[in-house]
């Protein structure tokens, strides 16, 4: 079976910014142990997910995240997104 993957990074096809933002923030808050507001990363010098994660770790922990924490972040973020999808169905 062929698979097609579509990345809708600007919200043209799907209005998912709210849930993406909520899940990203929840993941970072859980891992850093600090409450974060939605779109807290407006001051981040990088606007990619990985750039924002790095910026948040430096800001709150004084260091960049090692690969293990990045992998954990991705897994938790996917879990939050799956939960959001389940709630919206």
**pLDDT at residue 36 in the model:** 87
Average pLDDT over residues 43-57: 90
Contacts of 19 by beta carbon, 8 Å cutoff, 6+ apart: 81, 84, 88
- Phi, psi (rounded to 5 degrees) for 26: -65, -40
**pLDDT at residue 34 in the model:** 94
Looking up tokens 């079976």 gives 1
Distance in angstroms between the alpha carbons of the first and the last residue of the chain: 25
DSSP H or E run through 75 = helix 67-88
Instruction: Please tell me whether the overall predicted TM-score, pTM, comes out greater than 0.95 for this model.
Output: no
CA distances from 57 to 12, 22, 40 (A): 30, 18, 13
């Amino acid at each position: 079976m062929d698979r097609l993957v579509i990345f809708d990074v600007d919200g043209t096809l799907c209005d998912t910014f709210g849930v993406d933002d909520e899940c990203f923030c929840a993941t970072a808050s859980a891992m850093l142990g600090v409450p974060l507001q939605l779109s807290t990363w407006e001051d981040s010098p990088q606007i990619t997910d990985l750039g924002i994660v790095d910026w948040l770790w430096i800001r709150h922990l004084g260091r960049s995240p090692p690969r293990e924490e990045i992998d954990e972040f991705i897994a938790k973020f996917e879990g939050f997104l799956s939960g959001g999808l389940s709630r919206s169905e």
